[in-house]
Chain A
Amino acid sequence: MTELLTVRDLRVDFDTPSGPVRVIDGLDLTVAPGERVALVGESGSGKSVTAQAILGLLPTARVTGSVRLDGQELVGASRRILRQVRGNRIGLVFQDPLSSLNPVMTIGRQVMEPLLIRGVRRAEARRRAIDLLARLGVRDAARRFDDYPHQFSGGMRQRVVIAIAVIAEPDLLIADEPTTALDVRIQAQVLSLLDEIAAERRMAVLLITHDLGIVAGFAQRVVVMYAGREVEQGPVDEIFGRARHPYTRGLLAAVPRIDERHQGRLPTIGGQVPTPAQRPDGCAFHPRCSSTVDACRSEVPLLLPRAAAHRVACHVATRHAEQVTEV
């Protein structure tokens, strides 16, 4: 087995006053060692819940299916095992650096913590933390080691969060909208740092984002989610150049581009993203889709072809492909 992370048939249900709601409905996902995979979708697509389910961070939800890290099952694993995995083997970066940091603990202490927990000696942990902070572009890292989060700017805080996530040299970094709260130039810096650190350490990255521009520059493979299901996945050039799912195509067309002179109207996808509780029968996208057949309204499409690198869950796209191969 060559995959680092293998997610199979992941289902996440939340109990609500009006009954259980399935937020993730049968997700399959793999990440190879050192690979960068982007999980893309709009609000409510389930991309952040997927990250939390992988890490066992959803104590109130019912999570079924399988999440294996190097063969070790994480769904239903004990808290002790999950604690070992988090921080040691999987690093985590969330969108808002301020709420990820402890406001009453110094920056240095927080960056050292994963090492101290592992039993690294304090002097050694301090040296490595200062090195890493400096590497991540925190100026005067040694002098600022005893500062508190409120003394750092947003961009600097996110660098600190990244330092905490990668200092224990995890095999996988899960980054959930890591630059969404940052200004565009800071975003570019943080992304290129992530890029360098991941390459240096051969660290795999699962990047969760709604920003297709970031995906294009960072990921090797893309998984597109819609209403809690995967609708398409493939190599980044395939998804951007030859997307087959009407939702993926619509999404790509709806993004204004800075390198294009075009005024006038943008192509749009009519309607709006359904909430998980109101997910339509059959293909969840069918009420917004312009080319539907009967099956779209009744059968959930499978991701096909199963073994291919580029897979799509669309009755129309896969039928069309069958006809083409028959001819």
Chain B
Amino acid sequence: MFKVLKNYQIAENTFLAEVEAERIASECKAGQFIIIRVWEKGERIPLTIADADPERGTITMVYLRIGASTIRLSKLKPGDFIADILGPLGNPSQISHFGKVIAVGGGVGIAALYPILKELKNHGNKITSIIGARSKSLLFWEDKIGNVSDHLIITTDDGSYGRKGLVTIPLKELLESDSYNRVIAIGPVPMMAAIADLTKRFGVKTVVSLNSIMVDGTGMCGTCRVSVGGCIKFTCVDGPEFDAHLIDFKEFSNRLKMYRNEEAMLVRRLSGR
């Protein structure tokens, strides 16, 4: 059982939970994730670790309230307990002095980006961040991402804040105007796929962090399998970061939708519709 310390909304449909998990807090590295089972009858779902405080023994998750488990999670109050948390899982993000790095975050991917940028910054990289959302109400952590970036660009699809349009517009301008050593992108699949297409043309090494459907998270079930360079890889133990130019995004996106009917049914059931 893992005690919830904080759990509140930080943007439209987006929540932040801080949870007591001493061992995970002291062992986790940037880019790793956890598997959480909110309650006894709940599903096991992966969530990115957005921050950790080893001193206090806590980890922070930022999540979108989208399925049964995250709806239930969003209803927990400080002092409540989460049934199970397993982690840290996956390989830590590759951190070194790359030089000039562009980081792109979309939606809750912005939170997943934060610990990685913190480390990249510590290693002396020059970071230009682009964070984007459909609309201003979905944006969060502008300040935190700003603090670990040398330059920050914000986009919204509807133009309600920052530049109007997709993150790929400023990304393309940056790639055209200067040379970069690395791009890291975390966000919705169409965003990551579009970024991979774009950076491939410019020949810039690009990594993305994938969030698959998972059960055990330890390489046992294979539900998180993804084609990378024509080989089957497991997101949980081989990832979650992969070379964006080698991923079959179409297949990956399909696999995320495997249970869309069941998920929708659960959400309807939970909201009493």
**Is this pair of chains taken from one and the same complex?**
no
